Structures are given as structure tokens and as C-alpha cells.
Amino acid sequence: MRRLFRLSRPASEVSRDLSSELHFHLEMRTQELVASGLSPEAARSAALRAFGDVAQVERECRGISERRVRARERQAYMRGLVQDLRYALRTLRKSPGFTFIVVLTLALGIGANTAIFSMVRGVLLRPLPYRDPGQLVFLRQPATRAGVLNAQFSVPELTDYRAQTRALSGIVEYHSMPFILLGRGEPRRVQTGVVSANFFDLLGVTPALGRTFRPGEDAIGAEPVLVLSYGFWKTQLGGDPSIVGKTFTMNDHVHTVIGVLPPIPQYPGENDIYMPSSACPFRSSEQMINGRQMRMLTLFGRLAPGVTASQAQTELDAVAKRLHTEYPGDYHQDQGFGIVATPLQAQLTAQARPTLLLLLGTAAFVLLIACANVANLSLARLVRREREMALRAALGADRGRLVRQLLAEGLLLAGAGAVAGLALAWAGLGLLTTFAARFTPRSGEIALDAPVLLFGLGLGVFTGLLFGLLPALPTRVGLAAALKDGGATTGSSQSLRARAGLVVAQVAVSVVLLVGAGLMLRTVLALQSVDPGFDPEQVLGAKIDLNFSKYTSNELVQEFHQRLRERLAAQPGIQMVASSRGYPLDGRRAFGFDFQIERRQRDPGQVRPQADFQAASPDYFRALGIPLVTGRLFTDQDGPKAPSVAIISQAMARRYWPSENPVGQRVTTDSGETWTTIVGIVGDVHQYGLDAAPVDEMYLPFDQVPLREGALVLRGSAEAATLVRRVKEEVLALDPDQPLAGARPLVEVRGESLAAPRLTATLLGIFAGLALVITAAGLAGLMAFSVSQRTQEIGVRMALGAARSEVLGMILRQGLRLVCIGLAVGAVGALLLSRLMAGLLFGIRPHDAATFALTALLLLFIATMACLVPARRAATVDPMVALRST
């Protein structure tokens, strides 16, 4: 008791006692010296000398005393905290059902938020793994009037921007092409990044092994060297630590490996290997070096020290204006050429940002609903514990002590929920990484690292504080009322109103989530119902990229494809084989070109006619089921020496010949040197995505324009795996050094094009389903609690003649009234959300009335089912039993 008394004394009283005690000892020493024969003055001086500086001694003693008091106070606080936690643990163990539901609810909310935050951090927030990433910019050359987002750059344009731009300390080039790598086992098709020698130096990338390119290694005639990507080195070469210095044959030259890159995101695309620009036979050709309109390069730059992005943009605009004036024939005014510098971080995440932020907001809503539901459960549990709280208050526990006890319980529950949530987030990490890979090359940086773990644990602490403090205790706890059998306290009424408000909030948030999920679901259904313009059933698409160094002429390419088609057509189970530039939805962007229609003059300022170039052999359209609208298809007579002919799409026919038949018309792509006759019109095909409108397309006979980067389209009754094996065997039989670039059933390709919106809809649907279940549970709990609180009232009503149906309707109306209020509030939020989702939708308006109506009906149905059980229990109350409990 004395120790508790000391801890409870104020610091000022302790200080006064210390001062009195010191002066008492000083006075006693002085009296002893006087008794020994010294004068009072001498005795006083001697005592002071013995004591030293009294004020200093007093300060030291006071510091020691205060530290002891603080230490004892901390010890007492920690003992009290441990006691609270032990008591909270015992209390929660006595309510296993409540504990399990709360932990599960919080685990779902915290796990969803932690998982989505790991994506947001890895893709949007984590700095790029380059030196001074904020100084890196991505250069884009749009042709706005022609509707081209990025026309890319040519070699002369790269040279001009390097020479005339001072705001950028360096500009590097990049393009990617497939080549064939020989020298270790069977031939490999490798996607190759072709870059400037200082590409990695400008980015600030340090290799994992060896070195990167040196100045001069991109000059014509330099020794061919390679830098391997980390993924290719690990998966294809077994992570050989002695790979540096080894050689491979590519493009008829021996290339030496000089380094391996670290595991970093590659932009704008993933590559297996990298080579200097001079080693690419296409890039180093005279046509590319001198052709200002041969635009195929992607450019990156680094801001010079002290230069802002806006200053760099101003200078680039000035350089572009000079180039447009100096070379007017290469920059047609009707196409609206320009130049834009975008921070690389923004460019990397531009496609992923809207979807990730939408998912993060959705997960946050789920957490709010989970917290509201837990608060509802806590309020109901607190009402049942009113007698306990009242008794503890009567025994001396103040309001702060009771709140601390509730906080201890809340933190224990939230901690368990956070740990379980982190486990759920870890389990779903692979799915999220696959999802993010469809939008950005930074998906490999998604991980449950320390910041993400701290985020999850922080959410646990936040939710523990939130629903621990939310059950507001009454200012005074009436002991008599709380202990009276069947007595309803003021706290019960306050709790009922608070729980009703929480249910309204849950319903409102559920409306927002359900509308978002419904819009995405309808988007997926709309995409699935899109007619792609071709029949993917029993069709295989295979890419064949022929070796640049071996197939050096159109004749060699045409001969290889013709022999391959003949060999495959003789195989059992294959009905049709065709060569082409590619196949629909294969991810390859076609070459766009300008053309001129015979005897048709272009008005000044009018945009030049444009179309996408495609190449196809005679059976291409029949193999894919593309219908012939009018005219004829290609035949074997449309060979290399035959007159140039073309087939166009319906979209192109509608655009340029809206009121006449284009069959028989002629077009030119070289200012009239050669003319191509249109011989047929075929149906439109969604080449670049089901959500992208068909573009204007012009097909030319494959034998007249054979492509090294080509494809095969096979229709057959054999299984896809069998077809792939046969194609690979026949390709190797014709050329043992020629690998198959890839082969996939078109049914799978079409399904892959729906993967991103389907995954988004799935995630939103999961979140909305969680929200709906939690909300329904909260509503059912509220109604059950309301029935228990109104048992006596219901008994009186039934004793006075109220029918069971009237009682049933009364309880249902009470629950549905809350749902209707939540629907009204949630509809406003859903309208705002749908505007933000407009860019993700297809074939449906953001404010789709059917989606909103179906959401409202679904919630009303679920709410009715949730209210029905407690309502039926209320209707079966025995009036005599209820009145006997008054």
C-alpha cells in the first residue's frame, strides 16, 4: 500500500519532501559541529563544504527520484497492460464463435488490402531500379491528325535530336527483333533488344556478370557482342557462371557474351538478349541509316543536370519545328507530327495505374465494411456485457480503464486478423503478379517486403483502435438498471442506433462495389459476344521468323513457305494451311502505309489515306473462316511475277468507297510507279483486340510480298499438341537451324485477349461478394439484436391482438428501411465510381440503368433473406413468456 501511495503522489509534493529532507540533514550537521566547539557561522560553512552545492545535490537527488518514479510508473503501466491483455485473452477464449468471426472478417479485409498494396507498391510506388530514375524520360513522336499515338523515330531523326538537344544529357535508341541463336544445342529463337552502346550507362544499370557495351561497340564494323537478360541466362542457359566470354552464332556472325543483366524490369518489352545497333542487319542497312521515314526506333533520354521536364519539352518542340521546316516532305502537315517527353516512371505504369487504383479503392471499401461489421459485433457483445461493465465501474474502474480493456481486446483480435490476412496475401501473390504482368513489365517487383508487411500490421493496429474505440460507453453506467433482470439500459438504445448507422454504411459501400463488379462483368460478357470476324475453332497459329543471314531474298523466303505448306498439307488431319504476316490477336502490330487512289485528288489539308498492311496466301481466309463479301480471293496464279493485286476489308471499303464498288479500282503506295488492283472485299477482323474496332486493312498475296517474320495458319481435326509437333518437325526437316517461334490454338489466343478484363472482373466480384456476405451478416445480427431488445414490446403487441404477420412485417420493414437508406447513399457513390471506370468498360455505359437496378434488387433480396430469420423468430414470441419477463 505504501508503494501505491508513493506512485500516486504528485511530483511537486515529492520535490518539497526532498528539499525538506536535505535541509534537515544540513541543519543536523551544523548542530553537531556547533556542539563540537565551532561557532554557528563556522559550523554552517563547514557543513556546507561537506555537503557541497546543496542545489546541485538537490537536483541530482530529484533526478534520481523522478527517474525512479517514472520507472515505477512504467512498470506499473506495463503490469496493468499485461494484466489487461491476459484478461482480454481469457475473455475472448470464452467466446470462440465471436473471436473466430471477427478474426476471419478482419483477415479478409486486411489480406485483400495488403495484397493489392503489394501490387501498388511494386508497380506504382517503388522507384525504378535505375540511377536517378526521376531524370529518365521516354520520347514519343505522335502524329495526332492521323490518329497515331507514337510513330517512333528514324535513324536520321535520332542523329538530329542528339545533335540539337542540350536539355538531355543523352539520348539512346531501342528496338526489338527476333533472331536465331546457334551454338548450344538446338537453335533458339531469341527476342533481341537492339540498343545504343551507352543504353545501359544512360539508364544506370550495373550488370550482374561481366560488363555492358562500351563506346564504339555500336559502330559499323565493330566486333559483335551480346549482353544476356537475367531471365534468359537463368532459364535457357542454366545460370552458367562462366557464360561471359563464350560465343554464339547469330546472323551469320560469331557473337561473344560480355555480360549478364541484373533481374530488372525491361521496357518497353522483355528481351532475351541485347546487341549493339550495328550488329542488327536491318538497323545497319543503308536504307535504314538514310531513310528519315523509316521510323522503327524507340528513344529514351536523361535530363541534363538542373534541367526540368518542362524545359526539355520546350527545347524538343523547337527542334521538332526546325526539322519539320527543313524536311517538309517527311513531315506531312496533315498528319500533325510532334514530340512528347514523358517521365519513364509514368510511362511504365500508364496502363496499369487506373486498374490498380480501382482495385486498391475496392479493397479499402472491403476493409471499411469489415471494420463496420466487427464494430457491430463488438457493440452487440458490449450490450451483453453491460452488467459486467457496470459492476466494474461500481467497484472503482474509471471510464479510461474500461476503454483500455476494450482496446486490449480489439488489438488482440486485430493482431490475429493481421497475421491471418498476411498469410492470405502471401497465398494470392502469384495470382496478382500474373494479373499485373498483363499491364506492366514491373510485375516482377511485386513482393511482400518489409514496407508491405508493415502496411499490413499497421492496418491491424488501425482497425484494432478503430473498432476498439467505436463502441462508445455511456457517460454513466447505471448499476441498478444494468443488474435488473431484463432491464434495457440507455447504452442499449445508443448501441442500437450506432449499429443501424453502421449497417447503412455497409449497404452503401456494398452498392458501390456491386455496381463496379457488375459493370466489369457486363464488359466481359460484351467482349465475349463480340464477333471477332474469324472462326478460331480447330485453328492453330504458328510464328516463323526466318534467319536474316540465310534467307536474304524474297525468293528464298517464298520458296521456304511454299515447301512448308506443301509438306503440312500432305499430313493427315490438316485440311488447310496458309502463310501470312501473322494471325488475329497475335500481338503483332501491322505495318501502316499511305496510299493514293487512282484518279482521285486529295484536298489541301486532307489526311492521306492509310491502311494496315497484311500478307496472306490463298487459303488464309478459308482457314480462318473470314467471309468473302464480293469479288474473289487470292489464287495460286497470284504469284511473284503476276500483276499486283489486293483484297481490302469492309471497313476500308466503307471509308474510301462509301458509294461505289472498289473491286477493280487501283491504288499505289509509291507515287504511281506501280499500281495494285483491288480484286475482293472480305469481312472485318478484330486484329488487335476484341475491344478495338476493326481497322482499315489491305491484304496482298504472300508470294508477292514474302516476309521473314511470318506465320502459318492451320485448320485441322487433329489435337493442338499434335499439330504443333508436326509443324515443328516439318520446319526442322526443311532447315535444321530454323526454330519454331511459337504456336498456339486460336481459341486459346482469343481467350487470352479476355484475360485482363476477366481477371479484373473476378477480383472486383470477389471483393463485392465479400462485402455482400459481411453486410448480410451485419444486417441479420442487427435484426436479431433488435428482436432481443424488443421482446417485451412484441409480447405486449401480441397480447393486445397483433397478428404474427403484423409482427413479421414490422421487423422486415425495420431492416429494409435501413437497406433503402444505404441504397440511396450508395447509388451516389456508385455514380462517381462508374465515371472513374469509364476507360475500363466496353459495350456498356458507365451509368447503365440495368446494372444499377439489378444491384438494388440483389441487395434487397439478400437483405430480405437476412432479416427473415430474426423476423420469424419475433413472430413466434409467446406473449405470456414475454410479459412474465417484465
Does 10 have pLDDT greater than 80? no
**Burial category of 469 from C-beta neighbours within 10 Å (exposed 0-12, middle 13-18, buried 19 and up):** middle
Do residue 494 and residue 617 come from a single domain?
Answer: no
* DSSP letter for each residue of 104-159: HHHHHHHHHHHHHHHHHIIIIISPPSSSSGGGEEEEE--BGGGTBS---B-HHHHH
Q: Is 130 inside any structural domain?
A: no
Q: In angstroms, what CA-CA distances link 362 with 290, 420, 772?
A: 52, 20, 13
Q: In angstroms, what CA-CA distances link 588 with 584, 585, 614?
A: 9, 8, 11
Q: First vs last Cα of the chain: how many Å apart?
A: 45
Rg from Cα positions in the chain: 39
The Cα–Cα gap between 133 and 435 comes to: 25
The one-letter code for the residue type at 724 is: V
With beta carbons less than 8 A apart as the criterion, state whether 54 and 30 touch: no
Do residue 687 and residue 552 come from a single domain?
Answer: yes
Q: Is 317 inside any structural domain?
A: yes
The Cα–Cα gap between 68 and 77 comes to: 14
Q: In angstroms, what CA-CA distances link 501 with 239, 421, 505, 785, 813?
A: 60, 27, 6, 14, 16
Q: Is 628 helix (H, G, I), strand (E, B) or coil?
A: strand
pLDDT in tens, 583-597: 998 877 767 778 888
Strand bridging mode 298-303 / 666-668: unpaired
Q: Is 733 inside any structural domain?
A: no
CA angle 211, 216, 220 (to 5 degrees): 120
Q: Is 737 helix (H, G, I), strand (E, B) or coil?
A: coil
Residue given cell 537478360 in the structure block: 229
Do residue 693 and residue 577 come from a single domain?
Answer: yes
Q: What is the pLDDT of residue 489?
A: 46
Number of C-alpha atoms within 13 angstroms, CB side, residue 742? Answer: 14
Q: What is the pLDDT of residue 415?
A: 83
Residue 49: domain span: 2-93
pLDDT in tens, 59-105: 666 666 566 656 666 666 667 667 777 877 887 787 787 788 788 88
CA angle 77, 81, 87 (to 5 degrees): 145
What integer best gives the mean pLDDT of the chain? 81
Kindly state the percentage of the chain with pLDDT values over 90: 26
Q: Average pLDDT, stretch 184-209?
A: 90
With beta carbons less than 8 A apart as the criterion, state whether 854 and 515 touch: no
Most trustworthy range by pLDDT among 23-27, 57-61, 241-245: 241-245
pLDDT in tens, 497-530: 766 777 788 888 888 888 888 888 888 888 888 8
Among the listed ranges 205-214, 288-297, 458-467, 832-841, which one has the minimum average pLDDT value?
Answer: 458-467
With beta carbons less than 8 A apart as the criterion, state whether 698 and 612 touch: yes
575 membership: H or E segment, kind and range = strand 574-580
Q: What is the pLDDT of residue 880?
A: 60
0.75 exceeded by pTM: no
- Cell numbers given for 755: 484475360
- Cell numbers given for 110: 486486411
The Cα–Cα gap between 623 and 606 comes to: 38
Q: Is 626 inside any structural domain?
A: yes
Strand ranges for 17-88 from DSSP E: none
Do residue 178 and residue 320 come from a single domain?
Answer: yes
Q: Is 227 inside any structural domain?
A: yes
Do residue 228 and residue 329 come from a single domain?
Answer: yes
Choose the final residue of a domain: 304, 338, 372.
338
396: which residues sit within 8 A by CB, 6+ positions away? Answer: none
With beta carbons less than 8 A apart as the criterion, state whether 859 and 514 touch: yes
* DSSP letter for each residue of 341-352: EEEHHHHHHTTT
User: Residue 294: pLDDT band by 50, 70, 90 thresholds?
Assistant: confident
796: which residues sit within 8 A by CB, 6+ positions away? Answer: 879, 882, 883
Q: Is 731 inside any structural domain?
A: no
Do residue 582 and residue 617 come from a single domain?
Answer: yes
Q: Is 636 inside any structural domain?
A: yes
Do residue 63 and residue 170 come from a single domain?
Answer: no
Among the listed ranges 53-57, 352-356, 379-383, 443-447, which one has the minimum average pLDDT value?
Answer: 53-57
With beta carbons less than 8 A apart as the criterion, state whether 869 and 776 touch: no
Do residue 821 and residue 679 come from a single domain?
Answer: no
Do residue 475 and residue 599 come from a single domain?
Answer: no
Among the listed ranges 219-228, 238-247, 340-349, 372-381, which one has the minimum average pLDDT value?
Answer: 372-381
Q: What is the pLDDT of residue 486?
A: 45
Number of Cβ within a 10 Å radius of residue 327: 14
**Total count of domains within the chain:** 4
With beta carbons less than 8 A apart as the criterion, state whether 597 and 656 touch: yes
- Cell numbers given for 876: 413466434
- Cell numbers given for 673: 510507279
Q: Is 116 inside any structural domain?
A: no
The Cα–Cα gap between 121 and 107 comes to: 20
Number of Cβ within a 10 Å radius of residue 850: 11
Helix 791-799, helix 804-836: angle, nearest 10:
130
Rounded to whole angstroms, the maximal C-alpha distance in the chain is 141
Do residue 164 and residue 294 come from a single domain?
Answer: yes
Do residue 549 and residue 518 come from a single domain?
Answer: no
- Give 168's strand partners: 303
Do residue 515 and residue 555 come from a single domain?
Answer: no
The Cα–Cα gap between 812 and 868 comes to: 7
Choose the final residue of a domain: 716, 745, 766.
716
Q: What is the pLDDT of residue 855?
A: 87
Quick one: the chain helix, strand, coil %, rounded to 5?
A: 55, 15, 30
With beta carbons less than 8 A apart as the criterion, state whether 285 and 194 touch: no
Choose the final residue of a domain: 291, 311, 338.
338
With beta carbons less than 8 A apart as the criterion, state whether 460 and 110 touch: yes
